[in-house]
Structure 1
Amino acid sequence: MESSAKLSFARLSPRKTRLVVDMVRGKGIQNALNTLRFSPQPSAKLVSKLLSSAVANAEQKGVADVDRLYVKTIYVNGGTVLKRFVPRAMGRASKIRKPTSHICVVLAEKK
């Protein structure tokens, strides 16, 4: 049985978040959470919370053994980009792009 969780419009760069997500793909839940706990990237905390949410969803669905869950699929898509302007010299303005991410995780039981 599979369970999933999604996080939309996270104020994280998709490119940087993919580096964190690639570390936990295919791992068991406890191993993945330990990997994220000691990861220095800011996105590791949000991905860890998302994995915990997916585990809670699995418990609600009635998965027989939560310890046998592993990260079947996890991916990051780019969301909308918030565009801001910062004033510069001589009346000009420069763009500041603030990217967002959509993160999706699917857990499954090992057979």
Structure 2
Amino acid sequence: MEVKAVAKDTGLPASKVRPLVDMVRGKRVDEALNLLRYAASPKARYLAKVVKSAAANAENNYQMEPADLKIVKIYVDVATSMRRFKARSRGRASPIRKNSSHITVIVAEQEG
């Protein structure tokens, strides 16, 4: 059985979270959390919270053993971006986009 956890509108750009997602895809949950704990990016802390949430959902809602869980699917989708304008010289304005993303983690018990 697959169990899912989603973090919506994280405020983190998808392009900066994707390298971390690629690093933990297909790993066991405890191994993924260990990799994220020592990752150089501050975005790893947010990703670790979503992985922990998926493991907690599996444990509390479906009585799965957390030690047997593996990340089956993990992906980052682009969410809405906040649009702001910054004042420039000569009365002009230039746009600023603050990108956001949705992080989805799906875990399942590994066979064997």
- TM category (shorter chain) comes to over 0.9
Percent of aligned positions that are identical: 43
Within the alignment, does 1:29 sit opposite 2:25 as a pair?
Answer: no
Q: Contact 2:83/2:95 (CA < 8 Å) preserved in 1?
A: yes
Partner SS, residue 100 of structure 2: strand
Q: Which amino acid aligns with 2:29?
A: I
Q: Contact 2:10/2:101 (CA < 8 Å) preserved in 1?
A: yes
Give TM-score, length-normalised by structure 2.
0.95
Displacement of 1:3 after TM fit? Answer: 1.0
Within the alignment, does 1:9 sit opposite 2:9 as a pair?
Answer: yes
Displacement of 1:41 after TM fit? Answer: 1.1
Partner SS, residue 80 of structure 2: strand
In 2 relative to 1, CA 53–64 (structure 1 residues): closer, same or farther, beyond 3 Å? Answer: closer
Match of 1:109 in 2: 109
Which ranges in structure 1 are unaligned for 5 or more consecutive residues?
none
Partner SS, residue 17 of structure 2: helix
1:39-98 Cα offsets, whole Å, 9 max, x none, are: 121221111000111111001123342201010000000000100011011101111110
Give TM-score, length-normalised by structure 1.
0.96
CA distance in 2, matches of 1:63, 1:20: 28
Match of 1:20 in 2: 20
- Please identify which structure carries the higher strand content: 1
Displacement of 1:10 after TM fit? Answer: 0.6
Residue correspondence of structure 1 range 59-74 to structure 2 within 5 A? 59-74=59-74
